[in-house]
Amino acid sequence: MPLSAIKGQNRVIDALKRSITANRVAHAYLFEGPDGCGRRTTALALMQALFCKEPIDGDACGSCSSCRKLASGNHPDLHLLSPLPDKRDISIEQIRELQQQLSLRPFEAKRKACLIEPAERMNEKSANALLKTLEEPPGHAIIILLTTQADLLLSTIRSRCQHLRFSPLDDSSVVELLVQQGMASSKALELAPLAEGSMERATALEEESDAVRRQELLALLSKVSSKHIATVFDVAESVAGGREETVLTFNLLISLLRDLLLIRSCGQVGIANRFLHTELTAEAARFTPTGSMEILERALEIRRAVQGNANPKLAMERFLLTYDRLRKGV
Amino acid sequence: MSYEVLARKYRPQTFAGLTGQEHVSRTLQNAIDTGRVAHAFLFSGARGVGKTSTARILAKALNCEQGVSLEPCNVCPQCKEITDGSSTDVFEIDGASNTGVDDVRELRDNSRYLPSHSRYKIYIIDEVHMLSTNAFNALLKTLEEPPPHVKFIFATTEPHKLPITILSRCQRFDFKRVPLIKIVGRLREIADQEGIVISDAALALVARKGDGSMRDSITCFDQVLAFCGNTVADEDVATLVGVVDRRLLAELSSAVFAGNTQGALEGVRRVDAFGYNVRQFTQELIIHFRNLLIIRSVPKPGEILDLAEAELEELRQQAGEQSAADIQRRLTLLVKAEGEMAHASFPRLLLEMALLKMANLQPVLPIQQLLDRIKHLETGIAQTTPELWSAPATAQQSTPRNIAPPRQEAAAASVAPAPVAPAGGVGGGWERFVTFCLEQKPALGALLEHGSPLAYAPDRIEIGFPEGSYYLTSLQDVDNKKAVDALAALYMHQPTVVKVVSITAAGDGASPCSLAEKKKHDEEQRRDSIQREVNEHPVVQEALRVLGGEIVEIKEL
């Protein structure tokens, strides 16, 4: 995909296109932005533009062999670096292998390219091992790091890259992209606000599992009561799953709780789960404003605990008990 | 050929070119001048202040074909090779990639051989803090007494991670953060050489973004150039660098002060829409609130804040009537939220929550004002005390009277249905008899407590027990019977007939109640009356009214 075809990131695309025409493309970029806002697509588009055999105005043609290879992800000079399937971090061995690869001559293109995603998964050792390469890559290779939070990277890494920040997609871009993917425009309009600027989420929403799940969760929440203590444990049993799954559940819960807080403190403006708004209003009425704030804080705290090493089911039980306690305003 | 970023293109190649590290370059030059060059150096300091550059310059100065000189010539093959990184005698080693003890052993073995065509064999180990403990220790002996043709230069951002034994063997140079003015000067030089038109204000913005790091500033400058081309407009720089619009900050703070939650959240939405980094924005907001705080708490804020008079006036208006304490509490909330953002995945949510809390914060009262109020309350209480406390006194006096009648009523009520027993007489005598028995034989007395006195006269006592009860069978036991007879005789001072009979359930109502039942009944009566007394007590009622509570439990002390 050529750079000009990327939607909703005009500021970034503009900057990149200008640097291509001015021949000022840096050798290291840091793309920061939320998931699903087009960082990866942009990174690949930039590489296509740099590798393209018949560039049009500095942008990729999209049809030459190099562009097609990059698009299908099998260009021999493109190195993708992600944590190995069974590992949490990008290991120092992977970085060493990359360094070795980059020191070789490129096969087809003028230079080699490397995409590290997610860059914050480099642990201290591997990040440090990358520093020298990142500052002066051999053979003018281009290295692009993708991250959701640049703050998580070493300051020494950040200082070696050109830092481009991607904003979440606005709703109209999400709608446009969804329609492009063949969704009915009415449905796209409905889903766009829920996606919170992420195409990834929008695609997940398409299967409706997400919306249904939110509705279920809200229904379960309103049902929980410590008067019938069994309900708490039943719900926790049914909702909690593995660590990753529970964190995702907490993300949804946090989204719901944020809406409760907003309804409680300043009316209906800006709530994300608009399709649930009657249920949300009913639930919000059972909270005091401070209670709705506190439960959100607790939820964030418990979510962090689950991300750590807390038992997901216990965490969920604790959350539900807190939820019930705060709801009564005690 | 592909573009070389400015940070690399303008990497200083001479000691004179080093910006902001004069203390290092002068010391090194003097050392070279006097021939007192140490064999091991450690360069430490923040990122992008010139550690690696200095290491290379030093290597060149030592190996330059022009002889060991104050400045490398940068034209001889030796210098050029070092600049290219292709010198055979200057080894620039990535300490973070070659961390193991084996790498160090290899280095140590090679260091024994003479340099191939230079004066010195120079090992530059960058990011040296990543070496393993074993690697460090393997290096110690060589580092202390290397062959005369070997020099070591270590560079690191984290010198505290090095073992103390390494530190003590090196000459250490701490690189300072580069002052803003010097960064601006360097950026100006680069701009002139590149033929770029840019204002000083814009350069200052870029330089500030670098936060004391030359490389950060130049990287940022590069980014600005990539976007703007050769003529740079100030507004473009502001957007690119991500300088937050002052108006947005002002709107947010006034929304917060006004308790306008809606306005605060609208502000966050705009921050997100602009593509600002939420955390960075929060930091700006913190600085903004700090300025407000200073305005409110210092007589001459102009001396502390580096702002124009117009801006000061604007801030003064925003601070309005807010007390310093109120601003400070809000600032604390923001700072806390900012800290949490570092390891949370919902920066926007955290900012929203912080702003809501800040908007909903109730103003605090100065302690002195509170103390005054308490004092005022105290004097008020002192005046009202007599009447408030006189009430319970009268209540207490009346207590016996209040309680007595119900007790008598209760006794009457319970005894009344017993036709056989003239309540007062039988009840009173019987009660004394049971008390006497309790003193003499507690076990027996306890049994008797459960009996109903059907008849009580000096010569004849008839006690009824519920049919089939434990007490009945116990007292019908021969030994107990004898004991009761003896006690009765002792009490009455005459032989007395004690008869134990069973009362059928049906006839229950006809018999006088036993002492145990009576006790229980009395207790209930007493509790009722205490509760009534407490509820009606003026002090309690006043407390309930003031504090808005309710009585859950009454405890006797």
User: If contacts are CB pairs under 8 Å, which of residues 204-243 in chain B contact chain A?
Assistant: 213, 215-216, 219, 222-223, 225-229, 240, 242
B97:A96 CB<8 A: yes
| pLDDT tens per residue, range A179-221 | 888 777 777 777 777 777 788 777 776 666 677 788 888 888 8
Spell out which residues of chain A touch residue B99, defining contact as CB-CB under 8 Å: 92, 125, 129
**With contact defined as beta carbons under 8 Å apart, do A113 and A79 qualify?**
yes
Q: If pLDDT is split at 50, 70 and 90, which confidence band does B340 have?
A: confident
Helix (H, G, I), strand (E, B) or coil at A161: coil
Q: pLDDT value at position B393?
A: 43
Q: Compute the average pLDDT of residues B374-388.
A: 69
Annotate B409-429 with b (16+ C-beta within 10 A) or e (fewer). ebbeebbeebeebebeebbeb
Query: What residue spans in chain B does CATH classification 1.20.272.10 cover?
Result: 246-359
Q: pLDDT value at position B392?
A: 45
Q: What is the mean pLDDT of chain B?
A: 81
Does pLDDT of B532 surpass 70?
A: yes
B273:A170 CB<8 A: yes
DSSP string, B403-420: HHHHHHHHHHHHHTT-SS
Does pLDDT of B408 surpass 70?
A: no
User: Number of A:B CB contacts under 8 A?
Assistant: 143
Q: If pLDDT is split at 50, 70 and 90, which confidence band does B427 have?
A: low
B353:A131 CB<8 A: no
What is the pTM for the complete model shown?
0.66
**With contact defined as beta carbons under 8 Å apart, do A119 and A30 qualify?**
yes
DSSP-based helix, strand, coil % in chain B, nearest 5 = 60, 10, 30
pLDDT greater at residue B389 or residue A52:
A52
Helix (H, G, I), strand (E, B) or coil at B429: helix
| CA distance linking residue A81 with residue A103, whole number of Å | 16
ipTM summary value? 0.71
- Single out the residue of B3, B5, B14, B1 nearest to residue B190, CA to CA: B5
Q: pLDDT value at position B123?
A: 94
B3:A26 CB<8 A: yes
Spell out which residues of chain B touch residue A133, defining contact as CB-CB under 8 Å: 94
Interface test with B, best of A10, A24, A93 (most B CBs within 10 A): A24
A296:B353 CB<8 A: yes
Q: pLDDT value at position B511?
A: 64
Interface test with A, best of B345, B351, B352, B552 (most A CBs within 10 A): B345
Alpha helices in A103-166 (DSSP H): 124-135, 155-158
Query: What residue spans in chain B does CATH classification 3.40.50.300 cover?
Result: 6-174
Annotate A156-170 with b (16+ C-beta within 10 A) or e (fewer). bbbbbbbbbbbbbbe
B262:A266 CB<8 A: yes
Q: How many C-beta neighbours within 10 Å does residue B131 have?
A: 28
B420-504 is a CATH 3.20.20.70 domain: no
Q: If pLDDT is split at 50, 70 and 90, which confidence band does B132 have?
A: very high
| CA distance linking residue B556 with residue A211, whole number of Å | 58
Q: pLDDT value at position B457?
A: 76
Looking at chain A, which residue has its C-alpha nearest residue B262? A266
Distance from B159 to chain A by nearest Cα, in Å?
14
User: If contacts are CB pairs under 8 Å, which of residues 241-270 in chain A contact chain B?
Assistant: 254, 258, 261-262, 265-267, 269-270
Q: Compute the average pLDDT of residues B452-480.
A: 78
Q: What is the mean pLDDT of chain A?
A: 84
How does DSSP classify residue B369? Answer: H
Interface test with B, best of A131, A166, A171 (most B CBs within 10 A): A131
| CA distance linking residue B428 with residue B411, whole number of Å | 11
Q: pLDDT value at position B322?
A: 80
HSE-up (13 A, CA, CB side) for residue B147: 16
The lowest-confidence range among A80-94, B39-53, B357-371 is B357-371
| CA distance linking residue B67 with residue B463, whole number of Å | 129
Q: If pLDDT is split at 50, 70 and 90, which confidence band does B423 have?
A: very low
Does pLDDT of B557 surpass 50?
A: yes
The lowest-confidence range among A3-7, A320-324, B44-48, B179-183 is A3-7
- Single out the residue of B492, B509, B488, B491 nearest to residue B500, CA to CA: B488
| pLDDT tens per residue, range A235-293 | 888 887 788 888 888 888 888 888 888 888 777 667 777 778 888 888 888 888 888 88
Q: If pLDDT is split at 50, 70 and 90, which confidence band does B230 have?
A: confident
Spell out which residues of chain A touch residue B351, defining contact as CB-CB under 8 Å: none
| pLDDT tens per residue, range B295-305 | 888 888 777 77
Q: If pLDDT is split at 50, 70 and 90, which confidence band does B133 have?
A: very high
| pLDDT tens per residue, range A14-33 | 888 888 888 888 899 999 88
Does pLDDT of A65 surpass 60?
A: yes
Does pLDDT of B414 surpass 80?
A: no
Strands (E), B98-237: 121-126, 150-156, 171-174
CATH number assigned to the domain covering B246-359: 1.20.272.10
Interface test with B, best of A14, A91, A92, A132 (most B CBs within 10 A): A132
**With contact defined as beta carbons under 8 Å apart, do B95 and B124 qualify?**
no
B180-241 is a CATH 1.10.8.60 domain: yes
Q: pLDDT value at position B407?
A: 45
Q: Supply B531's token pair.
A: 């509760």
What fold, for B6-174?
A: Rossmann fold (3.40.50)
Does pLDDT of B174 surpass 90?
A: yes
φ, ψ (nearest 5 deg) of residue B387? -70, -35
User: If contacts are CB pairs under 8 Å, which of residues 257-316 in chain B contact chain A?
Assistant: 261-262, 265-266, 269, 272-275, 277, 279
Looking at chain B, which residue has its C-alpha nearest residue A51? B2
User: If contacts are CB pairs under 8 Å, which of residues 98-127 in chain A contact chain B?
Assistant: 99, 110-111, 125
A3-167 is a CATH 3.40.50.300 domain: yes
Q: pLDDT value at position B505?
A: 56
Distance from B338 to chain A by nearest Cα, in Å?
12
Distance from A23 to chain B by nearest Cα, in Å?
6
Q: How many C-beta neighbours within 10 Å does residue A253 have?
A: 26
Of A99, A261, A267, the CB nearest to B97: A99
| CA distance linking residue B347 with residue B15, whole number of Å | 44
Q: How many residues does chain A have?
A: 330
Q: How many C-beta neighbours within 10 Å does residue B317 have?
A: 11
Of B341, B343, B356, the CB nearest to A293: B356
Q: pLDDT value at position A207?
A: 63
B133 touches chain A (CB under 8 A): no
A208-327 is a CATH 1.20.272.10 domain: yes
At a CB cut-off of 8 Å and minimum separation 6, what does A202 contact?
A36, A174, A177, A178, A191, A192, A194, A195
Spell out which residues of chain A touch residue B341, defining contact as CB-CB under 8 Å: 151
Q: If pLDDT is split at 50, 70 and 90, which confidence band does B129 have?
A: very high
**With contact defined as beta carbons under 8 Å apart, do B503 and B464 qualify?**
yes
B225:A22 CB<8 A: yes
Spell out which residues of chain A touch residue B127, defining contact as CB-CB under 8 Å: 128, 131-132
Structural domain boundaries of chain A?
A: 3-167, 171-207, 208-327
